[in-house]
Structure 1
Amino acid sequence: MNKLLMMLGVVLLGGIFTAFTLSASSFNKSTVAGPFEDVVSAIKQGDASGLSRYLDNNVEINITGKSNSYSKAQAEIILKDFFSKNQVKSFELVHQGGDASRFGIGNLTTTSGVFRLSFFLQKKGGSMVLNELRFENK
């Protein structure tokens, strides 16, 4: 009888440990999203407001060869205009890299065509800021 109780205790403790480990690992995965992932998500949704959360004070935006440096407020207006004229169907991230600075390059499929989109985030202070976006016809 004692051996049976001991085995039950071991099984119960093993089950509790497994449940705790699984819930802890899924909790960690859900909290991993950061600025890079948020920017990719905003691009996939054509969400200029979501992107504007990460815009630097001055942002370089290049849309099909027309490049300019904009203030954060101007950049949000430019992005809203772009996404209103080019509703996003999908965004496929093809390349990404960096540590202190991060970049992403992908294919943005919209109602008006496909663009090669690249963006750059750099560390500024204690956070990451989006300082360049390039939309090139594919």
Structure 2
Amino acid sequence: MNVKIIRTFAITLVCWLMLGSVLSNAQNEVINNVRDALKTGSSRELSKYLNNTVEISVNGEKASYSRNQAEFVLKDFFNKYPPQGFRYVHQGSSKEGLKYTVGTYTYDRGEFRVFMLIKQIGGAYLVDKIDFNEE
């Protein structure tokens, strides 16, 4: 094989690997920051990682909200159910590249199972859906 072709292939491969690493780090950063916001009950911090329109469901009552509206809905949720902790139970991705997490949100009278769907929008990962189901 021609050395120039091999060099071009190697450079292209390295670039793709670096891009994958950057995207993976961005995804992990969002997942970690969302976890911290849920642990502390910070609707303001959580809203930084929401899509422009996000679906929020609490015990089966679903609605879609703008990012600003969602911040107020989440603030109300945190006031009603002050957090004592949050941890991820499972994380994964679909064949289409959607990321999801399942976690447990604890408060003084019980806990919620929390499902989140995270989409890549442009170069950013944003929460597109949050379901809180009391257990």
Normalised-by-shorter TM-score class:
0.7 to 0.9
Aligned residue pairs, count: 107
- Bigger Rg, structure 1 or 2: 1
Long gaps (5+) in structure 1: 1-31
Q: CA deviation at 1:113?
A: 2.1
**Could you tell me how far apart the structure 1 residues matched to 2:103 and 2:30 are?**
17
The answer to whether residue 48 in structure 2 is matched with residue 53 in structure 1 is yes
TM-score (norm 1): 0.72
Q: CA deviation at 1:37?
A: 1.0
Long gaps (5+) in structure 2: 1-24
**Whose RCO is larger (CA < 8 A, sep 6+)?**
2
Query: Identity rate of aligned residues, in percent?
Result: 36
2:125 aligns with one of 101, 123, 128: 128
**Could you tell me how far apart the structure 2 residues matched to 1:101 and 1:41 are?**
21
DSSP-derived class of the 1:34 partner: helix
**Could you tell me how far apart the structure 1 residues matched to 2:101 and 2:111 are?**
16
Aligned residue for 1:95? 90
The answer to whether residue 108 in structure 2 is matched with residue 117 in structure 1 is no
* Superposition misfits of 4+ residues, deviation over 4 angstroms: none
Whether the 8 Å contact between 1:91 and 1:107 is mirrored in structure 2 is yes
TM-score (norm 2): 0.74
